[in-house]
Amino acid sequence: MADSETASAKKYQADIPARNEPFFLKGSNNYDWGMKNRLANIFDADSGRTVMLAFDHGYFLGPTSGLERIDLDIVPLTPYADTLMLTRGILRSSIPPTYTGGIVLRASGGPSILKELSDEEIALSIDEVIRLNAAAMAVQVFVGGEFETRSIHNMTRLVDLGNRHGIATLAVTAVGKDMARDAQYIRLATRICAELGATYVKTYYVEDGFESVTASCPVPIVIAGGKKLPEREALQLANRAVEAGASGVDMGRNIFQAECPVAMIQAVRKVVHEGAAPREAFEFYETTRRESGVG
């Protein structure tokens, strides 16, 4: 037997216990390897956070402002996103398959902006999700909406399918026009989604008591950007949300409708991943905007 093959020559290092590190993401430790690997393609393992670029709005809004030309308006932003949230139609038609970040596919839909929005059904098969190599499926949940029960059942069916294949389910809490958007409501909606199996939850940031929302939700929360704000205020919103326990942002209009979207997404990254103060991130935005020749 060659010397290198004797037990004494091999490096078994029996005195060092095998590493068994907990997974970095809240509430996700008990999933299998495939699910964790996909979650690590959405959330950055170093910061524990994500910058998701949301541009699935066309599934009920059509070509809204900033999304008229995905190839020209959005593709240049993709290198700065940890994850893209989009429809399968836009993924296939407009996103280069060389993109290696996480893909979160819009999995519910049906009504347009002209109809009752909570009247959604599942709009994607699990075969498509696997074929498109997605990390997660996004489903709208209308707590308090006209079709509340159906939207929750859409979510639980996707959770069952996703868990079978190690694919995450992102529950998106949709707040109707007439409903109070306060911490009490957001706590209710996010907790229901987590209790019924969502891997992570997207919701709106609220000024008073957002800490109670993140504390009472046992899985990660990312915040939606919402309506377009001045860039400085959008950076403040991202900062307040992560300071209050959000695991990142899933931001759309406040990035792609910014005066300089490519500068804005990088500024959002500074807040979310580097813990930059909003003032510092806004200065970065302004410098990058000027250097890009915008404005």
Candidates 18-26, 53-61, 157-165, 263-271: pick the segment binding ligand R5P (CB under 6 A): 53-61
Catalytic residue ranges:
202
Q: Is there binding between residue 241 and ligand R5P (CB under 6 A)?
A: no
Size of the site for ligand R5P (CB under 6 A): 13
Residue number with CB closer to ligand R5P (254 or 266): 254
Min dist CB 35 to ligand R5P, Å, is 22
Residue number with CB closer to ligand R5P (67 or 219): 67
Among residues 38, 49, 57, 88, the one that binds ligand R5P under rule CB under 6 A = 57
Residue number with CB closer to ligand R5P (36 or 203): 203
Candidates 6-14, 229-237, 249-257, 279-287: pick the segment binding ligand R5P (CB under 6 A): 249-257
Min dist CB 251 to ligand R5P, Å, is 5
Candidates 12-20, 121-129, 218-226, 230-238: pick the segment binding ligand R5P (CB under 6 A): 218-226
Candidates 54-62, 122-130, 186-194, 262-270: pick the segment binding ligand R5P (CB under 6 A): 54-62
Name residues contacting ligand R5P, limited to 99-158 (CB under 6 A). Answer: none
Of 92, 23, 95, nearest to 53 (Cα)? 95
Q: Is there binding between residue 224 and ligand R5P (CB under 6 A)?
A: yes
Min dist CB 264 to ligand R5P, Å, is 12
What is the C-alpha to C-alpha distance for residues 112 and 295, in angstroms, rounded to an integer? Answer: 34
Chain residues in the site for ligand R5P (CB under 6 A): 54, 56-57, 85, 172, 224-226, 250-254
